[in-house]
Amino acid sequence: MPRSGRPAAPWLLFLVPTFIWGTTWLTIKFQLGTVAPEISVAYRFALASLVLFGWCVAQGLRLRYDLRTHVDLAVMGFLQFGLNYVLVYESERRLTSGLVAVAFALMVVWNVAGARLFFGTPARPAMLVGAALGLAGVTLMFWPEVARLGEASGRGLGLAMAVLGSTFASAGNLWSQRLYRGGHAVAPTTAWAMAYASAAVAVSCAARGIPFSFEATWPYVASLGYLVLFGSVFAFLAYLTLLRRVGAGPAGYTSAVIPAVAMLTSTVFEGYRWTAVALSGMALVVAGNLLVMRSPRAGAAAPPTPASSAAPRP
């Protein structure tokens, strides 16, 4: 965010990433046309990395790292912006955008488990209860889809892709802690990770003979621009500013609101039909995220952690 001028209010910094990340799930739908999903992912993060690199240069942030750090950045990018997003785009070809967003609320579960397994981070009782509530909520939200897995609709595959995508996103989240614990700034490392992800996806497409086509239509170009500038840059910078201003705990509450915003947009634009079971599931997802994000150090500024980075960001 700009250094000069009057600082943005914390409530505005909260609303900006929450609204943007809550609506980008629906925006991805406009990318699903004649261009292969993998190609759209490569375009998106190639452009987003260029914008972030430019912002880092303007802010005077360090962009040079040693070889070992670049390897870590490549792994982080492949997991968090490569495999993860390819699966998101593919799953949205089969499911409503809101349901895919809710599936990514499972990142709370994977992050808590992964932080305990790989970093020895103790899981507080509230975090365990929150993760359990989130898992139960996602199960309820998807129960109609699970009940129809035998139908030849592709929804079962879409659900599997969404869940698998959430595990890759969480793995990238956890891997990034190697970088953050080493004191590296988040924006430059994310720019490099996005660049490596775009390159990896593009090489994979070339090896498999997927054509690098482009859809020169208003819906495709506009949605790509929104995903690049707003979903991958502006919301990210606003969230980082909020993180520095109020700390990881309060900033992490975005993860409780984003699935609700995504489901609201899905209801309005995709005709998602709510049931009592789905409403109960949504309530459990939000409650679970809120419990996980509660922290004794909520007011302290801190770098992102597996729990505070759990917001589903499409």
> What's the token pair of residue 157?
């595959």
Q: Give the predicted TM-score (pTM) of the model.
A: 0.86
Nearest in space to 88 (alpha carbons), one of 190, 201, 188:
201
What pLDDT was estimated at residue 7?
Answer: 64
Q: Are 286 and 237 in contact (CB under 8 A)?
A: no
* Confidence band, pLDDT 50/70/90 cuts, at residue 264: very high
- What average pLDDT does the segment 277-298 reach? 77
What pLDDT was estimated at residue 307?
Answer: 39
Q: Are 38 and 190 in contact (CB under 8 A)?
A: no
User: In whole angstroms, what is the distance from residue 25 CA to residue 274 CA?
Assistant: 18
Interval 90-148: pLDDT, tens: 999 989 899 899 888 888 788 778 877 877 777 778 778 888 888 898 888 887 766 66
Mean pLDDT of the chain: 84
Nearest in space to 261 (alpha carbons), one of 154, 104, 108, 87:
104
What DSSP assignment string belongs to 20-40?
Answer: HHHHHHHHHGGG-SSS-HHHH
What pLDDT was estimated at residue 107?
Answer: 83
- What average pLDDT does the segment 149-159 reach? 71
pLDDT at 273 > cutoff 60? yes
Percent of the chain at pLDDT exceeding 90:
45
The lowest-confidence range among 25-39, 127-141, 200-214, 296-310 is 296-310
What pLDDT was estimated at residue 308?
Answer: 42
- What average pLDDT does the segment 53-59 reach? 95
Interval 201-241: pLDDT, tens: 999 999 999 999 999 999 999 999 999 999 999 988 888 77
Residue with tokens 């609506």: 23
> What's the token pair of residue 34?
């004649």
Interval 242-253: pLDDT, tens: 766 765 556 567
For 3, residues 6+ apart whose C-beta sits below 8 A from its C-beta are 59
pLDDT at 302 > cutoff 70? no
CA angle 214, 88, 32 (to 5 degrees): 30
pLDDT at 69 > cutoff 80? yes
For 8, residues 6+ apart whose C-beta sits below 8 A from its C-beta are 1, 238, 241
What pLDDT was estimated at residue 9?
Answer: 76
What pLDDT was estimated at residue 249?
Answer: 57
